[in-house]
Structures are given as C-alpha cells and as structure tokens.
Amino acid sequence: MAEFPPLLSQEDMKKNKILLAYRDRCAALLVPLNECRKKNYYMPWACGHERHEYEMCEVADFQRRVKAMDKLKAEKAEQAKAAAAAAAAKAAEESK
C-alpha cells in the first residue's frame, strides 16, 4: 500500500460509530469493513478482502510511525553528541 486512504472527519467517524482507539489514518477502511461484517453477520470468511486492506493499512501506518520515531531518536542522539563535543571543547579550553 503506497498511499493511505483519505482521512475521515470527526463527524464521519462519530456517524459511523468508530471507537476512539480506531480513529487513525486507516479509519476510512474500517467503515466498509464494519458494514460488510454487519451485513454478513460477522462470518469470518465473508469480508476477507476488506479486512486484508484494513490490516495492510495498519501495518503501513505502524511502519511509518516506527520510521518517524527512529528519525527522531537519531536526531536527538546527534544533538546530544554535538552538545557533548561542545562541552568537551569548552572544558579543554578552560583547563589551558
């Protein structure tokens, strides 16, 4: 999945009774999945395609968030390294 579905508005999520825990980038795919589940009396095999699309979206969103967190951690480590180098240079200058 290259792109995420368009975001649902808060009103649409409320109208479709999307729980707060599921209000993320993939909520637009959860609406047709829930409709299919209700229409087919929650038969596990009935909505395989919709469930697969929703789960792949969730995986892609998780990977996106992990990548963003790794980037933040790398930036923070880089800043800490630069601050330590500056402190060491200042300490070396003061000891002269």
- Of how many residues is the chain composed? 96
| Dist CA 61 CA 68 (whole Å) | 11
Torsion of CA 52, 53, 54, 55, to 10 degrees: 50
Render pLDDT for 9-32 as a digit per residue (tens, 0 to 9). 999 999 999 999 999 999 999 999
Residue 51 CA: distances (Å) to CA of 15, 16, 29, 40, 79: 21, 17, 9, 13, 42
Give domain limits for the chain.
10-94
Render pLDDT for 31-65 as a digit per residue (tens, 0 to 9). 999 999 999 999 999 999 999 999 999 999 999 99
Q: pTM value?
A: 0.83
